[in-house]
Amino acid sequence: MFKRIQQLDDKIVDNIIKLRSPIKNKIMIAASSAGNLGVIWFAITLPFLIYAPWRMTGVNIIVALGFTQLVCEVILKHIVKRERPSNRLSDSEQLIRRPKYYSFPSGHTSASFCVVSVVIVRGTPLYAVLIILFCAIMIGLSRVYLRVHYLSDVLVGMILGLICGAATVSVFNQAVGSF
């Protein structure tokens, strides 16, 4: 089964080049860069922290990002140790700097979808959920487009983020309710 997944992942990475254009390259580089170090998610969290009715959601997002980072970047990537597709490419084929660490799962995507999960589960207004979901999808797609992740890295990152986000809402609600 893993062999089939790898074959499909390799085929997608090899065919990404057909989708590229200068405009798409700029859009995808910008989307990927927004996810670097969770910058976009901390920026999006600020209005939640400032607006009193949404403050607990903002704090919950920060907790969820920390938990997701621990699970994805500190634990899973170092257990799986999957090489990135960009390691097979020449420097001239790279649109962004080659990441240093392992590929599976996508940390950009898991962080993005943990935020999506928190805002959905906590009942954030639809317009905010849609903006956050759009950003998360663009970040995940950009990682495959830029050939720094395989599609399976991004899909698992998405699922992991959704689970981590929902789990932190549950724990957060129990902890806050006990005070």
Question: DSSP string of 57-113?
Answer: HHHHHHHHHHHHHIIIIIIIHHHH-PPPGGGGS-GGG-SSPPPSS--SS-HHHHHHH
pLDDT band at 179 (very low <50, low <70, confident <90, very high): very low
pLDDT at residue number 12: 86
**31: which 2 tokens?**
């989307």
Q: 127-147, pLDDT tens digit by residue?
A: 889 999 999 999 999 999 998
Does residue 42 surpass a pLDDT of 70?
yes
pLDDT of residue 177: 64
Output the pTM of the full model: 0.89
CA 27 from centroid of its chain's CA atoms = 16
Q: What is the mean pLDDT of the chain?
A: 89
- The Cα–Cα gap between 169 and 133 comes to 17
| pLDDT the model gives residue 9 | 86
> Which range has the worst mean pLDDT, 19-23, 31-35, 87-91, 150-154?
87-91
| pLDDT bucket at 89, cuts 50 / 70 / 90 | confident
| Better-scored residue on pLDDT, 2 or 119 | 119
Closest listed residue to residue 138, CA positions, set 154, 156, 126, 114 = 154
**Residue range 48-78, pLDDT digits in tens:** 999 999 899 999 999 999 999 999 999 999 9
Architecture of domain 32-177: Up-down Bundle (1.20)
Q: Kindly state the percentage of the chain with pLDDT values over 90.
A: 60
Residue 87: is its pLDDT beyond 90? no
